[in-house]
Amino acid sequence: MRASRSILPLRLSGLTWERGGEQLLGPLDLELDGENRVVVLGPNGAGKSLLLRLAHGLIAPSSGSVAWEEPDPRRQRSRQAMVFDRAVLLRRSARANVEYALALRGVAAVERGARTDEVLEQTGLLDLANRAARALSAGEQQRLALARAWALRPEILFLDEPTASLDPAAARRIEQLILQIREAGTAIILTTHDLGLARRIAEEVVFLYRGRVLEHAAASVFFEAPATREARAFLQGDLTW
Amino acid sequence: MTDLLEAFETAFRLLLSFDAGLLEIVGLSLRVSLTALGLATVVGLPLGGALAVFRFRGRGVAVVALNTMMGLPPVVVGLLVYLALSRSGPLGGWGLLFTPSAMVIAQFLLITPIVASLARQVIADLWVEYEEQLRSLGATSSRALPTLLWDARQSLLTAVLAGFGRAIAEVGAVIIVGGNIAHVTRVMTTAIALETSKGDLPLALALGIVLLLLSMAINAIASVLTARGEQLA
């Protein structure tokens, strides 16, 4: 399905990010090939969002490097997309939000309409296409954010706590869509502190604690037999809920 | 006391009869201030937005300068425009002094900083919310700017209305560069100043009432817009 060579794998090496003399992330090394659904797991403040923003190129590392297989920075950028914990939708219709993103990526005007219809259909938003995006419910807004990202046909999709502010039903729909997007061939890297979500989605887990990668393992291994004390404590925390 | 009451009575009669002299003055006021406002909007909104979005050396200084210019005394602006347009001034050849065009220029200079400065604040706030999302979608700063201006359109309208309020109500600049010439450059504020000093209170009062009504209308529109903006935020 992929038209041309892949930008993956993604290699983070010696990556750090600091602010005000305090090192909030790293140093960490991580290689992601995008074959599995990756969940970056960890407590609040572990640096999950930072890791995603660094990998996606929204912020620059203090040291270390974010390297893609693809050397051309423009192609790197155009093959990625990100969905944030709270959808930032433009003050226009749902449809126009998707079309705007496609226009930014240089998709020809004649193709935008069809692609927009397609993703709105796939995300169950076609009936709401002409409604003001800001007037949609929180769950619909997040679905629209997913649709907008999906329309870009990214090779890799970063999701930062995509269901954190949603009720359980809306969160389930988002989860299903994420699985569907993966089925269609997009690599998934998702952060969460929600163990239930992590267990349902993850095939590969990166456990982050105080800015460091403590474990990077297959999901089955991580959940059955966590190697570190911190991970065990984090997983136990779930049991006391 | 009876003089005052009579003045009010005459003022209302002028208003209710749509007195031609009164309408002429109100019309010129609106024409001058709306033209100045249109130009100030075209220049001020992108300027304010650019100051919010682009990072460059001297940006802090530019913002301080702009905010300072928000409080420019109208008489000073009037004086500067007068000097520029007077026969011996650098733009004297245009022959614009004591014409409505000179008044438009003065008001434009007076309110552009207001529109730009308020716009800068609005766009800066919105940029905080939008920046990561827009960058993620692949927008550069210059591509983001029109998007931000469009998405902030309701708050920006409030900035524009503030500019209009300032333009329509100021007297210092237009009296210097316009000269308050009857049928040519006489606007509401300059007429009020003149008629009051001449002792012709009814016309001054009638114009004052029109000004107040206009200002009330602007504030009403602004508060309705703000309420609607909050609803959609």
Q: Give the whole-angstrom CA distance, residue B107 versus residue B101.
A: 10
In chain B, which residues have their Cβ closer than 8 Å to the Cβ of A80?
A: 136
For testing contact with chain A, the best of B133, B140, B141, B232 (most A CBs within 10 A)? B133
Nearest CA in chain B to A99: B137
For testing contact with chain B, the best of A88, A98, A150 (most B CBs within 10 A)? A88
Q: How confident is the model at residue B229 (pLDDT cuts 50, 70, 90)?
A: low
Q: How confident is the model at residue B6 (pLDDT cuts 50, 70, 90)?
A: confident
Looking from the CA of B181 toward its CB, the CA atoms found within 13 Å total: 11
Closest chain B C-alpha to A17 CA, distance in angstroms:
17
Residues of A within an 8 Å Cβ radius of B: 53, 56, 58, 77-78, 80-82, 84, 88, 90-92, 100-101, 104-105, 132, 134-135, 148, 152
Q: What is the pLDDT of residue B81?
A: 97
CB contact under 8 A, A101 and B232: no
Q: For residue B26, which phi and psi values (nearest 5 degrees)?
A: -60, -40
Instruction: Output the pTM of the full model.
Output: 0.89
CB contact under 8 A, B136 and A104: no
Nearest CA in chain B to A150: B137
In chain A, which residues have their Cβ closer than 8 Å to the Cβ of B136?
A: 56, 58, 80-82, 84
User: B2-232 has which CATH code?
Assistant: 1.10.3720.10
Residue range A129-172, pLDDT digits in tens:
999 999 999 999 999 999 999 999 999 999 999 999 899 999 99
How, if at all, do strands A38-41 and A204-209 pair? parallel
pLDDT at B218 over 70: yes
Which of A129, A133, A178 is closest to A157 using CA atoms? A178
pLDDT at B182 over 80: yes
Q: Which domains does chain A have, with CATH numbers?
A: 36-73+156-168+182-241 (3.40.50.300), 84-153 (no CATH)
Tell whether B5 lies on the interface with A, counting CB pairs under 8 A. Answer: no
Q: Give the whole-angstrom CA distance, residue A149 versus residue A140.
A: 14
The percentage of residues in chain B with a pLDDT greater than 90, rounded to a whole number, is: 74
β-sheet bridge partners, residue A67: A11
Tokens coding B84: 């520029």
Least confident of A44-48, A128-132, B132-136: A44-48
Closest chain B C-alpha to A222 CA, distance in angstroms:
31
ipTM attached to this prediction = 0.91
Closest chain A C-alpha to B45 CA, distance in angstroms:
18
Mention every residue, 6+ apart, whose C-beta is less than 8 A from residue A238. Answer: A195, A196
Residue range B11-52, pLDDT digits in tens:
888 888 888 988 999 999 999 999 999 999 999 999 999 999
Tell whether B3 lies on the interface with A, counting CB pairs under 8 A. Answer: no
Nearest CA in chain A to B153: A91
Indicate the residue of B129, B137, B233 with minimum beta-carbon distance to A101. B137
Q: What is the mean pLDDT of residues B126-140?
A: 95
Question: Would you say A163 and A197 are in contact if contact means Cβ atoms under 8 Å apart?
Answer: yes
For testing contact with chain B, the best of A56, A80, A91 (most B CBs within 10 A)? A91
Indicate the residue of B136, B151, B153 with minimum beta-carbon distance to A82. B136
Strands (E), A130-197: 156-160, 187-192
pLDDT at B2 over 80: no
pLDDT at A111 over 90: yes
Residue range A185-220, pLDDT digits in tens:
999 999 998 999 999 999 999 999 999 999 999 999
Looking at every residue in chain A, the average pLDDT score rounds to 93
